[in-house]
Amino acid sequence: MPKAKLPRPAIAPRPSVDVMFRPVAQNVRPNAIGVLLTGMGSDGAAGLKEIHDIGNPTIIQDERTSVAWGMPGEANKLGAVDEICPINDIAQRILKLAVTTHPVCSIGQSGAGVAHG
């Protein structure tokens, strides 16, 4: 009797953060800020390390505010991390880094980055 084929799940996890980070490290270079938030597994850790290793700032979400600290924790183990921040502080930290490392931006009165093109 032939073995029954199970249907392929319509939605299956496909780790893709490393796939996204690698071209950033290779092409965006000095204009990138790498940020890795809560998640299971190790996806994103190697890509964040590539961003870190070319001298760009990197941030991970801290363990206390993460639902799952797998991804940020793995990045930390790899030495890919400049800063570890609570989730509520990450957006403000990105804005500050954008202003100090990319002076084309400034902080507007609302606190949002404003480009001076």
**Within a domain: residue 12?**
no
Q: Is residue 3 part of a domain?
A: no
Mean pLDDT computed over every residue of the chain:
84
Q: pTM (2 decimals)?
A: 0.77
Query: What is the CA 33 to chain-centroid distance, rounded?
Result: 8
Distance in angstroms (rounded) separating the CA atoms of residues 95 and 43 = 25
Element (H, E) at 60: strand 58-61
Residue 69 lies in a domain: yes
Please state at what angle helix 45-53 crosses helix 70-78, rounded to 10 degrees: 40
Q: Which residue has the tokens 């600290």?
A: 69
32-79 residue pLDDT tens: 999 999 999 999 999 999 999 999 999 999 999 999 999 999 999 999
- Asked if residue 70 is part of any domain, the answer here is yes
Query: Based on the structure, what is the number of domains in the chain?
Result: 1
